[in-house]
Amino acid sequence: MSAITNHMPTEELQRLDAAHHMHPFTANGPLSKKGARVITRAKGVYLTDSDGEQILDAMSGLWCVNIGYGRDELAEAAARQMKELPYYNTFFQTTHVPAIALADKLAQLAPGDLNHVFFAAGGSEANDTNIRMVRTYWAAKGKPDKKVIISRKNAYHGSSMGSASLGGMGYMHAQGGLPIPDIHHINQPNWWAEGGDMTPEEFGLARARELEEAILEMGEDRVAAFIGEPIQGAGGVIIPPETYWPEIQRICDKYEILLIADEVITGFGRTGNLFGSQTFGIRPDIMTIAKGLSSGYAPIGGSIVSDEVAAVMAEVEFSHGYTYSGHPVAAAVALENLRLIEEEKMVEHVRDTAAPLVREHWLKLTEHEMVGEAVITGLMASIALTPDKSTRAKFASDPGTVGSICRDICFSNNVIMRHIGDRLVIAPPITITPPDIEEMFTRINRSLEQAASAIKDQGLMQAAS
Ligand SMILES: *Cc1c(COP(=O)(O)O)cnc(C)c1O
């Protein structure tokens, strides 16, 4: 692909961006001095920036472009739908074909008796729906005090008031008066950072049993639901020990607590099954979906709800909904995305081809001196950086200092990895081919070598005491 010339010079774009555009999760002052990289187009797993550089996107945007960039079929589905019916709502006794077709398709694809869909425009909105739905569900069953939702520290469930309250990010709670009432956080199953002397299996059980302790402490008549990502994504791709989810499921069943699986990242092929719940043997009552539902080509999300929850909710006028719930264009794009995932056997590609190859390369990263654990499920992987593997030590520098140096070096080598504290993560498009996987690791390995010398040169290869 040749350099792009149909736009203003990069410096002018960066100047206007700095002057008028407030970036999410960013200190805009420092960014405006540096200048944001301007992404102009993309194809497959490669982004192109305004200088014509080709960047390998090992993060699928924000974990969402599952099928890769540049699929004309989705653009055409959007154009067709926009011409036929660009918008209508489903609030007041009306419906439309894309919402019907997508709800029906999702009911077929989702496991168990998850057969009913409440649409939103993204994951945050869907989780806000879930908060109100589970509380309304229990109130309708005569248990209005059953409203506490238990989540985990370091979970990510979105950025709205409700969903960020469900999330367990302390730095998010510190801004804007969060969390909202009746959300309770237990510890996360992050063995590397918090497992101490326990084996991963013992630790997984111990962390799951914190759910039981919390329920017993508050009383099961007060607890409405537990929410968890099958694999914590934005928390650093924390893959729980094998003992964790079966124990969580047992506890939810025993105390009649609704189980919400937040599949916003793990859904639609990411873990080598269509849903992460299938990979971990979870039987959720509600599943949150977004991101890979449309591969990021249009904003859409939702909650897939069990027969039992839907039956109770059917008797209630649920005073909740979004202008763009089930938006026809977004729904048409999602349907086309699901068609391609199925017809091109993308989940099988993850399971049989891409994930095994990425895994082989990924586990080898522990040969680098500063890489402690390397973990991977499907095409979702992380490494923990450490100054001393034998003790699983943290760095003496502020958390994220070393991680961000690594991330910046990756970025300058034209491969996008994300740093979460001092972990580095990838989640490439699920369509990534073997040659692109080889290229990705050439760039990652080169970046890690350069990062190790930079970190030593700056005197940062030191363990916290
Ligand atoms: C991204 C994400 C969300 C929020 O989705 P938005 O579309 O950004 O609102 C919720 N849950 C998980 C697990 C996510 O990764």
Give Cα separations from 465 to 396, 400, 462 (angstroms).
7, 17, 9
442 has pLDDT over 80: yes
Instruction: State both tokens at 275.
Output: 């849903």
Q: End-to-end alpha-carbon separation of the chain, Å?
A: 50
Cα gap 146→109, rounded to integer Å: 31
The pLDDT value given to residue 92? 94
Q: Which residues contact 373 (CB under 8 A, 6 or more apart)?
A: 192, 366, 383, 384, 392
Tens of pLDDT, residue by residue over 398-408, are: 999 999 999 99
Ligand 1, atom nearest to 232 Cα = 13
- Any idea which fold 37-70+345-457 has? Aspartate Aminotransferase, domain 1 (3.90.1150)
Of all residues in the chain, what percent carry a pLDDT higher than 70?
99
Average pLDDT over residues 459-464: 95
Give the pairing type, strands 223-228 and 148-152. parallel
Tens of pLDDT, residue by residue over 97-135, are: 999 999 999 999 999 999 999 999 999 999 999 999 999
Give Cα separations from 207 to 149, 198, 211, 243 (angstroms).
17, 11, 8, 10
Under 8 Å between Cβ of 270 and 430: yes
- The residue whose CA is least distant from atom 10 of ligand 1 is 157
Under 8 Å between Cβ of 312 and 139: no
Cα gap 72→70, rounded to integer Å: 6
Amino acid at 185: H
The pLDDT value given to residue 7? 86
Give me ligand 1 centre to Cα 378, in Å: 19
pTM of the model: 0.97
Under 8 Å between Cβ of 265 and 34: no
What's the CATH class of domain 73-343? Answer: alpha beta
Instruction: State both tokens at 52.
Output: 């014509």
Cα gap 282→112, rounded to integer Å: 10
183 has pLDDT over 70: yes
Q: Find where tokens 């995305």 sit.
A: 337
Average pLDDT over residues 201-210: 98
- The residue whose CA is least distant from atom 5 of ligand 1 is 123
Site to substitute for ligand 1 among 119, 125, 156, most atoms within 8 A of C-beta: 156
Average pLDDT over residues 446-452: 97
- The residue whose CA is least distant from atom 6 of ligand 1 is 123
Tens of pLDDT, residue by residue over 70-105, are: 999 999 999 999 999 999 999 999 999 999 999 999
Give Cα separations from 94 to 91, 300, 343, 435 (angstroms).
7, 19, 31, 48
Tens of pLDDT, residue by residue over 344-357, are: 999 999 999 999 99
Ligand 1, pocket residues at CB < 6 Å: 122-124, 127, 156-158, 229, 233-234, 262, 264-265, 290, 301
Q: Where are the beta strands (DSSP E) in 36-153?
A: 39-43, 46-49, 54-57, 114-120, 148-152
Tens of pLDDT, residue by residue over 14-57, are: 999 999 999 999 999 999 999 999 999 999 999 999 999 999 99
As a whole number, the mean pLDDT across the chain is 97
Tens of pLDDT, residue by residue over 247-267, are: 999 999 999 999 999 999 999
Helix (H, G, I), strand (E, B) or coil at 449: helix
The pLDDT value given to residue 465? 84
Q: What is the CB neighbour count within 10 angstroms for residue 452?
A: 20
Q: Find where tokens 């013992």 sit.
A: 202
Domain ranges of the chain: 37-70+345-457, 73-343
DSSP 26: S
Q: How confident is the model at residue 5 (pLDDT cuts 50, 70, 90)?
A: low
Tens of pLDDT, residue by residue over 207-251, are: 999 999 999 999 999 999 999 999 999 999 999 999 999 999 999
Instruction: State both tokens at 432.
Output: 């990534």
165 has pLDDT over 60: yes
Average pLDDT over residues 309-316: 98
2 has pLDDT over 90: no
The pLDDT value given to residue 292? 98
Ligand 1, atom nearest to 155 Cα = 13
393 has pLDDT over 50: yes
Give Cα separations from 258 to 24, 98, 224 (angstroms).
32, 29, 6
- The residue whose CA is least distant from atom 11 of ligand 1 is 157
The pLDDT value given to residue 1? 45
